[in-house]
A = this chain, B = another copy of it.
Amino acid sequence: MLYLVGLGLGDETDITLKGLEVVKKSARVYLEAYTSILLVDKSILESYYGREVIIADREMVESSSDEILEGADTVDVAFLVVGDPFGATTHTDLVIRAREKSIPVRTVPNASILSAIGAAGLQLYHFGQTVSMVFFTDNWRPASFYDRIRENRSIGLHTLVLLDIKVKEQSLENMARGRKIYEPPRYMTVGQCAQQMLEIEEEKKEGVYGPESLAVGAARVGGETEKFVAGTLKELCDADDILGGPLHSLILLGTGTHELEHEYVREFALDKENWDRIWAENYQSKK
């Protein structure tokens, strides 16, 4: 049996009792470590589980899935995923390959950023499609998020923006020379995300949002040090110090924001006066 086990969002104690039982009985335990991270190190997981944990990087999952699935028709293999196995990313490919080999698959769900983000005080019923923001480079500035946000805003909905992480990346030079030397991990911050969003609006000038659009920056959602900061996109460009370490996410408010949501979120506002002014002018009773 192949088990996809969600680890939740915070630390080693966020695994479910069902998940822990699977980890303890499995012949091999893999940790998917390229789409999200826990707030604790692998060694802490290993000592908590009493098991060796094999890091599965993107290369292994995408090119060597046979290795992961080896023997899973007769023994149990656990594939651990931060958050929920179907949360921020899906592992459909691995499941389809298991199916092809007639390996049964079972999922152990857990908390996902998609619902834990509700702690910001915005109703999950009022979210549209989730988008991702990647690190821009000089010649790669993918902006499809802009159209998705437009769609969400056209019907008044909030947008959750999930932020890029770069783990085990090689510099172009090291890649060209075939040197397996990796850059330190990078986690996009709310400030970087807000900045990139404003750059794209500057380029496209279609008014999907702007520097005065209201948003919430979130850090370490679901963890003990969870932190929310509310403000305009412009204000959030400079709020990384207040938010602290990774992982970050951002919510762009929809114009259909309800009074009750507003009341809850404004508690997190960097500048309550500014927040209230913009709320009254551009959001209140817009849906």
Contact = CB atoms under 8 A, between A and B. Distances in A.
Interface of A: 6, 8-11, 13-18, 20-21, 83-87, 90, 92, 96, 107, 109-112, 114-119, 121, 123-132, 151-152, 154-155, 157, 222, 260, 263-264
7 contacts: A8-B16, A11-B18, A86-B119, A90-B124, A114-B115, A129-B155, A154-B155
Copies in the complex: 2
A4 to B, nearest CB: 9
A18 B200 CA distance: 41
Contacts of A152: 155
Contacts of A116: 84, 86, 107, 109
B118 A115 contact: no
A130 B124 contact: yes
A interface SS class = mixed
Given A114-B114, A264-B96, A90 B123 contact: yes
A6 B96 CA distance: 30
B115 A87 contact: yes
Q: Which of A16, A121, A127 has the most CB of B within 10 A?
A: A16
Contacts of A125: 129-132
Contacts of A9: 109
Nearest to A93: B260
A17 B18 contact: no
A155 B11 CA distance: 37
B18 A10 contact: yes
A129 B157 contact: yes
Contacts of A114: 112, 114-115, 124
A21 B17 CA distance: 11
B86 A115 contact: yes
A272 to B, nearest CB: 16
B109 A121 contact: no
Q: Which of A20, A90, A127, A154 has the most CB of B within 10 A?
A: A90
B107 A110 contact: no
